[in-house]
Amino acid sequence: MLNEQSILITGGTGSFGKKFVETVLAQYPTVKRMVVYSRDEMKQYEMQQTFPTSRYPQLRYFIGDVRDKDRLARAFEGIDIVVHAAALKQVPATEYNPFEAIKTNILGAQNVIEGCIDCGVQKVVALSTDKAAAPINLYGATKLCSDKLFTAANNFRGQRDIKFSVVRYGNVLGSRGSVVPFFLEKRKTGVLPITDEQMTRFSITLEDGVKLVLFALNTMQGGEIFVPKIPSYRITDLAKAVAPECRHEIVGIRPGEKLHEEMITENDAISTLEYDDYFIMLPTVRKAHGFASGEHNGTPCSKGFRYNSSENTVWLSVEQLRCMIRDHVDPDFLVEP
């Protein structure tokens, strides 16, 4: 699918970006060009130590910000596929610096859209988050707006051969700034801060996040939001998995944080199709859509359906969480018997 294609990933030095680059280079050896677009030259330098251009001549490292429309236009020259992963995503930081999040997550998204249309890109997949469903914090609100921009972009592409879609999934296990590395560090102190004992979260690995994006690129018709079926975990089970010997200190929910995460709301379900391993939210403004025609055998979600972490049917046990930490975060992770 990606062989002989030129691909650009915004936010390419982030956790997802690095795993996406690693996967594409391994699975598609004749990819024509892979452009890592990000604003941090140090992270690009560090990434080049893992993926040097001497070994991977198809790789390019392009410094730029999605806020800079002219720079994006230069980067998109000759690009066939764009994966948009750049975002400001730390909830407390975006609550304190709201317009900075708006400039990157909303205005930057529109810059990506217009640049892709103008430069002849053929497929665009944007990464979303479970926090975009019924958002209560600014990060979620900006990502919901971004999702709307990308799905609606299909309406004004004119005669250009380009498609825009979105993938939405939950917390990435072990990603930078996430709870697992935080707990692993706090384990050394003997105390784990717990926001609320009832808290639940969705969980997905970086590998599965990349697979979802590749699936979307292969399947997309334009305007969909792809939502995977993934397991949930209880925050107390994660604490037991990481450090059963540690005392728990209840610190309360942070500003802008939910007790449970949601990926499909009751209102979203009206235009959502269910498949064995995923859901597809269809665009609300559309004339016709292949997924809605029945040719893909999706089942419309029932009235009142919602997909959230507390009502999930698949849960990770303490031992499963430990295995995932060893497999995807820290291969040396051990818990004393």
Neighbours of 160 (CB within 10 A): 13
Cα–Cα distance, 274 to 333 (Å, whole number): 37
Phi-psi region of 210 (alpha: psi -120 to 50; beta: other; left: phi over 0): alpha
Residues pairing with 228 in the sheet: 278
Out of 131, 143, 240, 258, the active site residue is 131
Concatenated DSSP letters for 60-79? Answer: EEEE--TT-HHHHHHHTTT-
DSSP 1: -
Classify residue 236 as exposed, middle or buried by CB count within 10 Å of its CB (0-12, 13-18, 19+).
middle
Rounded distance between C-alpha atoms, residue 47 and residue 63, angstroms: 13
Count of positions (residues) in the chain: 337
CA distance 143 to 147: 6
Quote the CA–CA distance of 5 and 33 in Å, as a whole number: 7
CA separation for the pair 218, 53 (Å, rounded): 27
Cβ proximity of 76 and 121 under 8 Å: yes
Q: Would you call 211 a catalytic residue per the annotation? A: no
Q: How far apart are CA 104 and CA 88, in angstroms?
A: 7
Looking up tokens 């030129």 gives 6
Which of 258, 220, 178, 206 is closest to 85 using CA atoms? 206
List, by residue number, the catalytic residues.
Answer: 131
